[in-house]
Amino acid sequence: MKMSLAVAAGFAVLAAIVAPEASRGADANATAPDFSGLWGRSSIPYERPASGAGPIERMRLPSGAPSRNSQSGDYTSPILRPEAAEAVKRFGEKARSTGVPDSETECWPESPPYIFKIQETQIIQQPGRILIVYSYSNQIRRIRLNESHPAHVTPSWGGDSVGHFEGGTLVVDTVGIKAGPYSMADRYGTPYSDTLHLVERFRMIPHDEAEAAMAKNEKEYGRIQVGYAVDPDYRGPGLQLTFTVEDPKTFTMPWSGVVTYRRNIGPWPERVCAENVHNFGIIDDPDLPAAAKLDF
């Protein structure tokens, strides 16, 4: 696998940071599956669960086709309380007119579940904990294994995450997810409150099942190829994340979404928000003014 020297150096620094803590705690799940490695997906929106309430979807045109505006969500979804529905409606109206800021455009931390939209991720599985690294600004989540939440959780952008294995499934429970001015549960401006409770279930799935899930989501929402490539000869399993969101202040009921990954052999793009002026062919790059000579 090829990657730039800068990205390789970044991983080396990350390894040096986490190495001293790698042996912290005994892992009672020595036979648990190993999810380590690079994973990627070629579409951004959440997939719907096989049954039950799912995430809000993109607004649809009278023809039934999804709206072209990727940030215009269906504010009539039954999972939304009235205040949340109004927030999604305002967000979509602004997205269709002048554009609307979110945590990505404003370089704010991206909290789960919003962070699941990032296409490239790396899982580092260690005794006692799991790290999940997301390519955009190398954001990191830390999951402690076989521990409980503290009695008093200090809110943070990633929340407090504890996990355990149930057979071949990694179950992660997260509370204490901090909310800021650009925080949202999805790309449609859906808010969340301090009562947000997120449960994630990671499991390996057969290769053909992962391919079918990805193809279905690409057909619905399109394919976005940014720093992600699959090995055409790889026939191993994919990784699937099913997550459930509970937030009684925002939603009328718990709802679930799905994210499917395949093994990624493509180099990660170096995407640091404060320095990112490239849209990688999705839309034209912004025409920023440039000085004729350096001012330092």
Confidence (pTM): 0.81
Domains assigned to the chain: 5-274 (2.40.128.20)
As given in the structure block, the two tokens for residue 16 are 């040096």
SS3 180: coil
Other beta carbons less than 10 A from residue 167's beta carbon: 10
Residue 191 has what pLDDT?
A: 96
As given in the structure block, the two tokens for residue 296 are 């330092």
pLDDT tens-digit map of 163-192: 999 999 999 999 999 999 899 999 999 999
pLDDT tens-digit map of 230-258: 777 889 999 999 999 999 999 999 999 99
The pLDDT of residue 130 is above 90:
yes
Which has the higher per-residue pLDDT, 8 or 226? 226
The pLDDT of residue 83 is above 70:
yes
Among 26-40, 120-134, 149-163, 270-284, which is the least confidently predicted range? Answer: 270-284
DSSP for 114-175?
Answer: GGGG-SEEEEEEETTEEEEEETGGGEEEEEEES----SSPPPBSS-EEEEEEETTEEEEEEE
Rounded distance between C-alpha atoms, residue 172 and residue 260, angstroms: 17
Rounded distance between C-alpha atoms, residue 282 and residue 137, angstroms: 19
Residue 21 has what pLDDT?
A: 43
The pLDDT of residue 205 is above 70:
yes
Closest CA to 80 of 159, 193, 158, 176: 193
User: Half-sphere exposure of residue 218, counting CA atoms within 13 Å on the CB side?
Assistant: 14
Mean pLDDT score of the chain: 84
Residue 69 has what pLDDT?
A: 64
The pLDDT of residue 64 is above 50:
yes
Q: What is the largest CA-CA distance in the chain?
A: 61
Among 16-30, 44-58, 87-101, which is the least confidently predicted range? Answer: 16-30
CB–CB of 141/114 below 8 Å? Answer: no
Residue 264 has what pLDDT?
A: 84
Residue 66 has what pLDDT?
A: 66
The pLDDT of residue 6 is above 50:
no
The pLDDT of residue 157 is above 70:
yes
Confidence of residue 278 (pLDDT cuts 50, 70, 90): low
Residue 27 has what pLDDT?
A: 46
Mean pLDDT value across residues 39-64 = 87
Q: Name the percent of the chain lying above pLDDT 70.
A: 79
The pLDDT of residue 155 is above 80:
yes
Distances (CA, A) of 75 to 53, 221, 271: 15, 18, 31
